[in-house]
Amino acid sequence: MTLEAIIIRADGALAETEELRHLAFAKVFAEAGFEWHCDRAQFSQSRTLGNAKARLTYFVRQYLSRRPETPDVEQLIGAMQRRAAKVFGELVEGSDVEPRSGIRDLVVVARREGIRLALAAGLKREVAQSLLFKVLGALGQDAFEVIAAREDADSPVAGDQIYRDALEELCLPPRSCLVVEATLAGAQAAKLVGLPVITIRSAYCYDCPGTGDEAMVFEDLPSLVTHSDKRRLDPLSADERVELVTALQRLHAGNFDGVSGSNRSGVMRVSDILKTKGSAVKTIASNATLRAFAHALRTEAVGAMIVIDSKGGLQGIISERDLARGLAEFGADLPAMAVSDLMTRAVVTCAPDDSVAAISKVMTQRRIRHLPVVVDGGLVGLVSIGDVLKHRLDEVQLEANVLRDYAIARK
């Protein structure tokens, strides 16, 4: 079926709004005299509770957990919720809200190609309209023929209604449209109506990936374009805009050929590192001597080895740092000791689908330099801190090249 309309989620896909919601909650709690401390991860997780009122109710009850339940609490929650909605609207109106990467390009090319545009928002209608104008100005007002807004639409059960409203105003069947969402809950709501969905990951979207539908989760819209596999800071060229709409049409049809290479989410994963470095892993038996281990480190030019049992199962990991620690502890007795006497038995592992950003955080927090890659209990590779750093440097170099080319083009 032909793609006739694109429905963009305002609060997340059109623009990041969770930071403003976070600030609104903080201001309201402060006005109520509460010492409310909630970081980005905690606030993001509260999205699973439902709409803004449900989230605020949770935080208030959490704060008042040791106090008896009284009718005054319900009145307090109601007053705080109304105040939070007003503050949020004021923040939208008074803040410099930027569109998500590629959104402006999508709007321009959709209008040129005759694809209709609709906005779906878990916000009050007047706030959604204000957000649209702040993000896209007159372009947004002219391009979007439908605005479907419901303040209770943060939960999947209620959220599907904004998509039903959008379809009713568009007078189109679900399969003629494509939704651009930013969270798992929003994607699920759209799917309840039978709408095809792609998800561009929000900074507050801690439930993506892990959706069970990885092929439809992307870092941002430019990552759909063949020549833009990293986040773009500059507008797409005319040719890239054509590629963008072509990619969306392919995704709408369920065809992933030619869309953003093999890594459809636009996020570097452990599997991508293994494709480059290979899956060969240097191993050693647990009963081998530490002298043999030291010799193996030198001949294989590696910093750590996986310890395996007679059946090839993972028993532990041992590194050159373990040798240094063992020398200080056991002295001259060390060379004759077995690998099993010094190895780390509680091995932290990762999976091929884990993101490089995630394992980088694990390595930093746990102060480890090597992670075995395991699938169904079987060893399939080894990733080092050096592999992670190389990836980071490659990203920085690419971004520097993009900025340089952009600066040259503007001269």
What is the residue whose two structure tokens read 């063949």?
Answer: 226
Count of beta carbons in the 10 Å neighbourhood of residue 122: 28
Other beta carbons within 10 angstroms of residue 190's beta carbon come to 28
Question: Between 256 and 168, whose confidence is greater?
Answer: 168
pLDDT at 409: 54
Q: pLDDT (tens digit, 9 = 90+) per residue, 173-209?
A: 999 999 999 887 788 889 989 999 998 877 665 554 4
DSSP H or E run through 374? strand 370-375
- What one-letter code names the amino acid at 233? L
Separation CA 260–CA 384 (nearest Å): 26
On the CB side of 206, how many CA atoms lie within 13 Å of its CA?
Answer: 13
Strand partners, 148: 120
Least confident of 12-16, 58-62, 288-292, 320-324: 58-62
- Max CA distance (Å), the chain: 82
| pLDDT given for residue 97 in this prediction | 83
Instruction: Determine the length of the chain.
Output: 411
Q: Which position has the higher pLDDT, 171 or 98?
A: 171
Is cis: bond before 209, omega within 30 of 0?
A: yes
Check residue 60 and give its pLDDT.
82
d(CA 259, CA 243): 9
What does each C-alpha distance from 215 to 112, 255, 264 come to in angstroms? 27, 10, 6
Is residue 304 within 8 A of residue 369, CB to CB? The reply is: yes
User: Which residues, in sequence order, are CB contacts of 247 under 8 Å at separation 6+?
Assistant: 224, 225, 258, 259, 260
Give the count of alpha carbons within 13 A of 328, CB side only: 5
